[in-house]
Amino acid sequence: MKKVVLSLITIASASCSSISYSGSMGPIHAEPHGWTGFYIGANAGYWWSTNKAVNTVGSPGYADPLFSLGAENIANALAVVGTNNFSLNTDGFIGGGQVGYNYQLQNQFVVGLEADIDGLTQSNATAQAARMVPLVDFPAEYYNATISVTKKLDYLGTVRGRLGYLWSPSVLFYGTGGFAYGGVVLNEAFTANESLGFPSYAPITMQNNIKKTGTGWTAGGGLEWIFRANWSAKIEGIYYDIGTINNNVVLSQRSFLPIQPIVFGAAQINTTTKFTAAAVRVGLNYHC
């Protein structure tokens, strides 16, 4: 998708160059510019996450039948270790560029298509929790556990339609919506130690890193003003929903046996978080 945006920027740049200049004659446009045509510009503003939750839910899995009661206690305790609710807040600066095309209808309406891509600052947050979880039927035994999650949004981009109403020949109110994408990252780390430790139980460590391009939808609106020939300024609000990460890992309690260690019990941990954000941006566009 980033390649598509870069291709559109190249097309718009070439169009602007060919329209604005003719050999050595210099700029052609001298009169105020209308809305129809290509434009290219930059934007900057403030963004914040609208979904802060990262939820991990554990469920008992395997229990070794040779050690049924103890193994079931281990599986149940690991499920409790893996059940947590985190709140991670991220917000900061957003900035990037956009390219688009407008077409002014015969009445007071303008339709168009715009693509943009923005980088983000302060886009990652980490939360940790430490827990002591006893084994139900063996209260003298327990797990000391630490859980850490990191959620990050690397960048945001959109390809959107625009529909606007001309309040005056130079002032456009518009709504916008379409496809959104972004770089999403989720890191998880679990450590758990059974209180008996050596020689019965090995330490549990589990790390899982997910990094991918999330996709979804976007919607918003704004105001754009042509303040001089070929130049406009805008302010807009945008909402992004780029999907959910739903991931599973397994915490397994193994013995210390150096050859083919026994798995006493295990639990499956499901982690879910949704990536949504909002932004308020100002921008400057050059119209060809």
Tell me how far apart the alpha carbons of residues 70 and 200 are, in angstroms, rounded to a whole number: 12
Residue type for position 288: C
What integer is the mean pLDDT of 209-233? Answer: 97
Q: What is the helix (H) or strand (E) element at residue 232, kind and residue range?
A: strand 231-254
d(CA 137, CA 126): 34
Looking at mean pLDDT, say which of 39-43, 86-90, 133-137, 202-206 comes out highest.
39-43
Domain residues for 224? 2-287
Domain count, the chain: 1
Q: Are 215 and 180 in contact (CB under 8 A)?
A: yes
Please say if the pLDDT value at position 194 is more than 70.
yes
Q: What is the pLDDT of residues 240-265, one digit of tens each?
A: 999 999 999 999 998 877 666 788 89
Q: What is the pLDDT of residue 121?
A: 93
Q: Which of 278, 288, 287, 286 is nearest to 118 (CA)?
A: 278
* 8: confidence class by pLDDT, cuts 50, 70, 90: low
Instruction: State both tokens at 202.
Output: 């090995």
- Give the pair of three-digit tokens for residue 153: 């949004």
Residue 6 confidence (pLDDT): 59
DSSP 29-58: --SPP-S-EEEEEEEEEEEEES--EEEEEE
- pLDDT level of residue 26 (50, 70, 90 thresholds): very low
Q: What is the pLDDT of residue 14?
A: 63
Q: pTM, whole model, 2 decimals?
A: 0.86
User: Which of 72-86, 226-240, 256-270 shows the lowest per-residue confidence on average (mean pLDDT)?
Assistant: 256-270
DSSP code of residue 21: B
Q: What confidence score (pLDDT) does residue 23 get?
A: 44
* One-letter amino acid for residue 254 of the chain: R
CB atoms within 10 A of CB 191: 18
Outline where the chain has alpha helix (H): 2-20, 68-81
**Distance between CA 91 and CA 98 in Å, rounded?**
21
What percent of the chain is modeled with pLDDT above 90?
76
CB 135 within 8 Å of CB 60: no
